[in-house]
Chain A
Amino acid sequence: MTLDSKIPSGPIAQKWEKHRFEMKLVNPANKRKFKVIVVGSGLAGGSAASTLAELGYDVDCFCFQDSPRRAHSIAAQGGINAAKNYQNDGDSVHRLFYDTVKGGDFRSREANVYRLAEVSRNIIDQCVAQGVPFAREYGGTLANRSFGGAQVSRTFYAKGQTGQQLLLGCYAGLNRQIAAGKVRMHPRTEMLDLVVVDGLARGIIVRDLVSGRIERYAAHAVVLATGGYSPVFFLSTNAKGCNVTATFRAYKRGAYFANPCYTQIHPTCIPQSGEYQSKLTLMSESLRNDGRVWVPKAAADKRAPGQIPESERDYFLERKYPSFGNLAPRDIASRSAKEACDEGRGVGEFGRGVYLDFKDAIDRLGRDAIAERYGNLFDMYERITDENPYQTPMRIYPAPHYTMGGLWVDYNLMSTIPGLHVIGEANFSDHGANRLGASALMQGLADGYFVLPYTIGHYFATHAPGPVSTDHPEFVRVEAEVSERVKALLSIGGKRSPDSFHMELGRIMWEECGMARNKQGLERALQKIPALREEFYKNLAVPGSGSELNATLENAGRVADYFDFAELMCIDALHREESCGGHFREEHQTKDGEALRNDDDFAYVAAWQFEGEGKRPRLNKEDLTFENVALAVRSYK
Chain B
Amino acid sequence: MKLTLEVWRQKDANSAGKMQRYEAAGISPDMSFLEMLDLVNSRLIEAGQEPIAFDHDCREGICGSCGLVINGVAHGTRKATTTCQLHMREFKDGDTIYIEPFRAKAFPVLKDLVVDRSGFDRIQQAGGYVSINTGSAPDANAVPIGKEEADIAFTAAACIGCGACVAQCKNASAMLFVSAKLSHYAHLPQGQPERMRRTRDMVDAMDAEGFGNCTNQYECEAVCPKEIPARFIAEMNRDYVKAAITEA
A549 with B111: in contact, given A70-B64, A125-B139, A175-B129 (CB under 8 Å)? yes
Task: For the complex, give the distance between the alpha carbons of A500 and B42 in Å.
Answer: 8
B38 touches A278 (CB 8 A): yes
Task: For the complex, give the distance between the alpha carbons of A543 and B56 in Å.
Answer: 19
Per a CB cutoff under 8 Å, which of B12, B49, B125, B141 touches A175? Answer: B125
Cβ-based interface call for B209 (8 A): no
Task: For the complex, give the distance between the alpha carbons of A227 and B152 in Å.
Answer: 32
B38 touches A67 (CB 8 A): no
Task: For the complex, give the distance between the alpha carbons of A408 and B64 in Å.
Answer: 32
B61 touches A168 (CB 8 A): no
Residues in chain B near residue A379, CB distance under 8 A: 80
Residues in chain A near residue B117, CB distance under 8 A: 66-67
Give the size range of A's interface with the partner: 35 or more
Task: For the complex, give the distance between the alpha carbons of A43 and B59 in Å.
Answer: 19
Per a CB cutoff under 8 Å, which of A86, A179, A449 touches B125? Answer: A179
B188 touches A240 (CB 8 A): no
B134 touches A450 (CB 8 A): yes
Q: Which residues between 143 and 178 of chain B lie within 8 Å of chain A, taking CB atoms? A: 143-147, 150, 153-154, 157-158, 160-161
Task: For the complex, give the distance between the alpha carbons of A273 and B30 in Å.
Answer: 7
Cβ-based interface call for B93 (8 A): no
A279 touches B59 (CB 8 A): yes
B30 touches A66 (CB 8 A): no
Q: Which residues between 115 and 147 of chain B lie within 8 Å of chain A, taking CB atoms? A: 116-118, 120-121, 124-141, 143-147
Task: For the complex, give the distance between the alpha carbons of A173 and B147 in Å.
Answer: 25
Cβ-based interface call for B214 (8 A): no
Task: For the complex, give the distance between the alpha carbons of A126 and B138 in Å.
Answer: 8
B110 touches A549 (CB 8 A): yes
0/1 per residue, B36-65, Cβ < 8 Å to A?
001101101110111101011111111111
Cβ-based interface call for B81 (8 A): yes
Task: For the complex, give the distance between the alpha carbons of A70 and B125 in Å.
Answer: 16
Cβ-based interface call for A23 (8 A): no
A549 with B85: in contact, given A129-B137, A131-B184 (CB under 8 Å)? no
Task: For the complex, give the distance between the alpha carbons of A210 and B59 in Å.
Answer: 22
Residue of B nearest to A47 (CB): B134
A210 touches B110 (CB 8 A): yes
A66 with B129: in contact, given A54-B134, A122-B137, A133-B150 (CB under 8 Å)? no
Cβ-based interface call for B20 (8 A): no
A384 touches B87 (CB 8 A): yes
Residues in chain B near residue A612, CB distance under 8 A: none
Cβ-based interface call for B5 (8 A): no
Per a CB cutoff under 8 Å, which of B12, B28, B137, B185 touches A276? Answer: B28
Residues in chain B near residue A139, CB distance under 8 A: 144
Cβ-based interface call for A128 (8 A): yes
Identify the stretch in A157-165, A338-346, A618-626 within 8 Å (CB) of chain B at 4 or more residues.
A157-165
Task: For the complex, give the distance between the alpha carbons of A522 and B185 in Å.
Answer: 52
Residues in chain B near residue A499, CB distance under 8 A: 38, 42
0/1 per residue, A177-209, Cβ < 8 Å to B?
011000001010000000000000000000000
Cβ-based interface call for A496 (8 A): yes
B144 touches A383 (CB 8 A): no
Residues in chain B near residue A274, CB distance under 8 A: 28, 30-31
A70 with B50: in contact, given A274-B28, A277-B35 (CB under 8 Å)? no
Task: For the complex, give the distance between the alpha carbons of A548 and B53 in Å.
Answer: 11
Task: For the complex, give the distance between the alpha carbons of A379 and B127 in Å.
Answer: 33
A128 with B140: in contact, given A74-B63, A274-B31 (CB under 8 Å)? yes
A276 with B141: in contact, given A67-B117, A551-B51 (CB under 8 Å)? no
Residues in chain A near residue B111, CB distance under 8 A: 548-549
Q: Which residues between 83 and 124 of chain A lie within 8 Å of chain B, taking CB atoms? A: 84, 86, 122, 124
B39 touches A72 (CB 8 A): no
Task: For the complex, give the distance between the alpha carbons of A407 and B51 in Å.
Answer: 34
Cβ-based interface call for A50 (8 A): yes
Q: Give the distance to chain A from B14, nearest Cβ to Cβ, in Å.
A: 11
Main DSSP-derived SS at the B contact region = loop
Per a CB cutoff under 8 Å, which of A47, A125, A543 touches B138? Answer: A125
Residue of A nearest to B42 (CB): A497
Cβ-based interface call for A176 (8 A): yes
Cβ-based interface call for A137 (8 A): yes
Q: Which residues between 320 and 358 of chain A lie within 8 Å of chain B, taking CB atoms? A: none
B58 touches A239 (CB 8 A): yes
Task: For the complex, give the distance between the alpha carbons of A593 and B138 in Å.
Answer: 48
Q: Give the distance to chain B from A297, nearest Cβ to Cβ, in Å.
A: 29
B144 touches A131 (CB 8 A): no
Residues in chain B near residue A51, CB distance under 8 A: 134
Residues in chain A near residue B146, CB distance under 8 A: 136, 138, 140
Residues in chain A near residue B64, CB distance under 8 A: 67, 69-70
Q: Give the distance to chain A from B201, nearest Cβ to Cβ, in Å.
A: 9
Q: Which residues between 37 and 67 of chain A lie within 8 Å of chain B, taking CB atoms? A: 47, 50-51, 54, 65-67
Cβ-based interface call for B190 (8 A): yes
Cβ-based interface call for A130 (8 A): yes
A122 touches B135 (CB 8 A): yes
A278 touches B138 (CB 8 A): no
Per a CB cutoff under 8 Å, which of B50, B61, B118 touches A544? Answer: B50
Cβ-based interface call for A601 (8 A): no
Q: Give the distance to chain A from B130, nearest Cβ to Cβ, in Å.
A: 5
Task: For the complex, give the distance between the alpha carbons of A542 and B118 in Å.
Answer: 28
Residues in chain A near residue B50, CB distance under 8 A: 543-544
A65 touches B51 (CB 8 A): no
Residues in chain B near residue A241, CB distance under 8 A: 57
Task: For the complex, give the distance between the alpha carbons of A379 and B56 in Å.
Answer: 21
Per a CB cutoff under 8 Å, which of A240, A282, A495 touches B46? Answer: A495
A141 with B144: in contact, given A67-B118, A168-B157 (CB under 8 Å)? yes
Per a CB cutoff under 8 Å, which of B42, B80, B133, B137 touches A125? Answer: B137
Residue of A nearest to B120 (CB): A67
Task: For the complex, give the distance between the alpha carbons of A124 and B138 in Å.
Answer: 10
Task: For the complex, give the distance between the alpha carbons of A135 and B146 in Å.
Answer: 10
Cβ-based interface call for B114 (8 A): yes
Per a CB cutoff under 8 Å, which of A72, A125, A210, A380 touches B85? Answer: A380
B121 touches A67 (CB 8 A): yes
Residue of A nearest to B150 (CB): A136
A131 with B134: in contact, given A74-B63, A277-B35, A541-B46 (CB under 8 Å)? no
Cβ-based interface call for B34 (8 A): yes
0/1 per residue, A538-572, Cβ < 8 Å to B?
00011110001101100000000000000000000
Cβ-based interface call for B210 (8 A): no
Residues in chain A near residue B125, CB distance under 8 A: 175-176, 178-179
A276 touches B188 (CB 8 A): no
25 contacts between A and B (CB under 8 A): A66-B118, A68-B121, A72-B58, A72-B63, A75-B58, A84-B140, A124-B140, A125-B138, A126-B137, A129-B137, A130-B130, A131-B191, A161-B158, A164-B160, A172-B124, A178-B125, A187-B121, A239-B58, A239-B63, A276-B28, A383-B78, A450-B135, A541-B45, A541-B46, A549-B12
Given contacts A282-B60, A497-B42, 10 further A-B contacts (CB under 8 A): A74-B62, A128-B140, A129-B130, A131-B184, A133-B150, A138-B146, A140-B150, A278-B32, A453-B134, A543-B48
List the 5 closest pairs (A to B, CB-CB), nearest first. A140-B144, A129-B137, A172-B129, A125-B137, A497-B45
